[in-house]
Structure 1
Amino acid sequence: MMNIKILIIAFLISCGAYSQETIVPLENLLGYESEQNEVVYFKDVNNLLNKYTGNWIYDDGTHYLKITVTKKEHLPQDFFGKLLNPNYEDNLSIKMIYKLNGVEQYNTTSFGATTALINGNVIESTNKISLEYYEPTSSCRRQKHANLTLEFNPSNTLGGNGTLGWTRTSRISYVSPNTECPDGTLVDSSDFIIPANLVLSRE
């Protein structure tokens, strides 16, 4: 009980030590150096994320991918919240349905409101953004994860909704394929099954 009280007091002290929020455009997130005790909100003030939101579909008869892209605002940057990192940010969150030859392989639409295996906010250019990418697994962890780049291509036709380029680049895993989960099973070392390069159309 005493430990809990000490943690609460430390949390309140740490909160009180920070100044009022400083709003910084999201595109300046990389390379921004905050001052001591400064609380920064990396906000999408120029609405660069808006063009990606909504439902997008790819379907070539073999691969069917439907993604729902949502803009999340004022999220804590740190998983453990304000105690360890007082800053906030806006980002994109993606839920998806993926079918292979008509058979559903993944469906993350029922995940909790704050749970997404694909999310991020690293703006590479006006129409290009980089996200963290994972595919679902029943294992304690997946051996591989990746970068996903989304590139919005505005349509040249009148009234067109544009397209969304999808490019996944695999990262090197630091987890041995022989690593065991707590239940004794091996970590998921299977490869990704969603194609690495797609062009999606707005639904």
Structure 2
Amino acid sequence: MTDVKPEDLDRHSMKMAKKKAARDKIMATKTDKKGLIIVHTGKGKGKSSAAFGMIFRCIAHDMKCAVVQFIKGGMSTGERDLILNKFSDACEFYTMGEGFTWETQDKSRDIEMAAAAWEKAKELIRDPANKMVLLDEINIALRYDYIDINDVVEFLKAEKPEMTHVVLTGRNAKEELIEIADLVTEMELIKHPFRSGVKAQIGVEF
């Protein structure tokens, strides 16, 4: 361990005290609370994973929440199994899709399922008991115009309860959605094992 001179410790303490004072001053101005529209998009991995992290955070705080999966089909996932088996009283969970579009190869069926998922999503968002609603991979349905982006935007602006958080995931988020969102995170892809021939693995992807 490197020896630290007393004067360096004093200098560090003064620097941190100034930083804390500045931070406290900024935080004192942040008094508003509101339900957020949160978008996770981008080509990188982790969009749904981060969203489910917030869902589990809500569960831990006894906040009622809900999930609607727009694309993922019958394949078992760790998040869904855990919620259905352990936390179904705290979080309603609906898997409304039948897989990715290249798997179903039935556009009319995909549109029908996406529309049903959106109707369920609106029902859950309208319920003020739900403090957070995750719309997992809705951005993919929006990208292929299976759902009207204008309908989604207008609904969120007009009908979302004031204190309800809505999280929307999936790459290629529409600009109209980004425009009304309060928090937008773009996951950047730098490296991915799939490109090296490694398939999706339990515990990492699902």
Question: TM above 0.5, one fold?
Answer: no
TM-score band by shorter chain is under 0.3
Which is richer in strand? 1
Which of the two has higher C-alpha Rg?
2
What TM-score does the superposition give when structure 1 sets the normalisation length?
0.24
The structure showing larger relative contact order (alpha-carbon pairs under 8 Å, at least 6 residues apart) is 2
